[in-house]
A and B are shown apart, each in its own frame.
Chain A
Amino acid sequence: MSNKLLELKNLKTSFQIGDEYYAAVDDVTLTVNKNEVLGIVGESGSGKSALAFSVMGLHTRAKIEGNILFNGKDIANITPQELNRLRGDELAMIFQDPLTALNPLMEIGDQIAETLILHNQNMSQKARKERVIELLNMVGIPRPEYVYEQFPHELSGGMRQRVVIAIAIANQPELLIADEPTTALDVTIQAQILDLIRKLKNDMHSGVILITHDLGVVAEMADRIAVMYAGQIVEVADVHTLFENPKHPYTRSLLNSVPADGQDKLHVIQGIVPALQNLPREGCRFSERIPWIDATHHEVNPVLHEVTPGHFVRCTCHKHFYFPDKTKEAELHGNSRS
């Protein structure tokens, strides 16, 4: 039996702007295994959420090309009915902002119960209520019977995120996509929510895609990491390799931007992620932000190269990359942190 839960093959998600289509997710090939956490990191606008929405089929006006194989079945272009049977059951998602992710006019309990109703009509009302209470307990909400009848505005952000998680795990999904689940929460709550996601994943043996821009979060949670830039995967590796031996200039720049002890100046990546319409159509997409690297070092059509088994890097520019200002990275490597 294959261990592959989700396989993306040359996934391309494009949006129409004016008369033309622009790809927010471009040529993404990835796998998520069972009982594995895949972290996806990148700056805002790098296409992380667009990728998650593509897998869930939540884009309303996008053109999706390529394959999304879920348990070996292509779900990229299935009918809405088939998709609705998967969503909320085997495929589930945790959203970024718990303050807006719940219906303000519906009781908490009813919102969780809806997921159960949609995928199991035979469940009795009593059993359903018991299951909702059980779920509320699982996500660590105190006094679940009381919270059952509360409305979202009566709960704090952290509690609401727990409810959102309860909705997602109600039917024990095989694949759980967490789209920046802790971004809207304060730091103390972040750790609790991450612990909760990890615990639930271990209990249910689900595959998890954890999307974040917080490198600390992926370092702690993920088994493997995919780094995205401007809609493309630029580097994939297991978590140790990526942190110990990052290759792609973008990954190295990201890691270099994290503050370290005794450092008085942070490394800043020049410029911003280009807007969708302004993406370079060919060549290395990161080249604009490392202008000191000679143009000839980039590939004309950069592809992912397997540098060591399981470690993929896009473009050849990483072989010639260096930081113009000798900052943290040099120090770190001098520090021999094995």
Chain B
Amino acid sequence: MWKFIVRRLLITFPQIILLSVLIFLMAQAMPGDALTGVIDPNVSLEEKEELRERLGLNAPWHEKYADWVGGIVQGDFGQSFRFKMPVTELLEQRLMNSFWLSLMTLLFTYLMAIPLGIISGRYNDTLLDSSITGYTYLGFATPLFIFALVMLWVFGYQLGWFPTSGSVTPGLEPGSMEYVISKFNHLLLPALSMALIQTVSTVQYLRSEIVDTKQKEFVITARAKGASESRVYNKHIFRNSLLPIAAFFGYEISFLISGTIFVEKIFGYPGMGLLFLESILLRDYSVVNAVVLIFGVAAILGALLSDIILSIVDPRIRIK
């Protein structure tokens, strides 16, 4: 199994390098550069050209790319012209917020998907299954941004159960118990809104996988051994049905990223998604580049993680 993981890791590096090249080239293709907007309009064209030469902006793309990547490796993503601070510092705060939001969403997603999928698959074509399937169709049909707005309106404004924006109540001491609880409280509603929509695809996958697996012959073998129905489900059907869920995990991360962009905007939650939207609107390119790169790396790592999980669960894909 270790061989498989090492080999899989080796593939990841070229993927990340290719991703960075693509992002860099696309950023290069965008009109304007650092001297187009930020600079005093009285500076003459000749002086600008001289500055460009001096700052290395006229260098061929691969030199500029090497410069950019060299900075990233040392933790330098450049300067945000809007926040007037290093992008790295800006990202640090946002990244942790988004990380917790994603983690919480994933947790809720699977906490809902696994029991619902199992019930729905085990008792398929019953009233219970129809209600769960009905919910999944509703979930598929409902756009996340509408649903999140409704949740915010009902539970945030009407019932007042949850805070309506931000990631923590201002004025609390970081590290104190109140601070942690407040952070958690701010996370709940956005994470729940996202999970309620995200979970439906996993429920559907799990359901159809269980319906499929329970007709397999090895299930009959298990019954013929004298295994009880609950044992048949827990030991034989469930584990075999988890394979596609594990395979799907990587994509789940990508959906999560696109989901956080809407949800963070709606809930005013200062994470990467919100930063991404703001930076695009304000043409803060160094930030956009950094955020896109991080999103891309997260998706690649998600796929890596799901392959590793799969290799643990399924002996057939291990390399001997």
Contacts and interface: CB of A to CB of B under 8 A. Distances in A.
B33 interface: no
A212 B315 CA distance: 33
Contacts of B223: 58, 87
Nearest to A153: B316
Contacts of A56: 224
10 contacts: A84-B228, A87-B224, A88-B226, A95-B221, A101-B220, A102-B218, A106-B236, A118-B227, A151-B316, A153-B315
A102 to B, nearest CB: 6
Interface in A77-126: 80-81, 84-89, 92-93, 95, 97, 100-106, 114-115, 118-119
A164 interface: yes
Contact of A103 (B228, B229, B231, B236): B236
A25 B225 CA distance: 24
B8 interface: no
A93 B314 CA distance: 27
B218 A92 contact: no
Interface of A: 56, 58, 80-81, 84-89, 92-93, 95, 97, 100-106, 114-115, 118-119, 151, 153, 164, 167-168
Contact of B221 (A81, A86, A101, A105): A101
A133 B48 CA distance: 82
Given A58-B220, A100-B218, A101-B217, 10 more contacts: A80-B228, A88-B224, A97-B217, A101-B218, A103-B221, A103-B236, A104-B218, A105-B240, A114-B227, A151-B316
Interface of B: 216-218, 220-229, 231, 235-236, 239-240, 313-316
Contacts of B239: 105
B315 A151 contact: yes
B22 to A, nearest CB: 38
A114 B225 CA distance: 8
Contacts of A164: 221
B11 to A, nearest CB: 23
A115 B224 CA distance: 9
B226 A86 contact: yes
Contacts of B228: 80-81, 84
Nearest to A152: B218
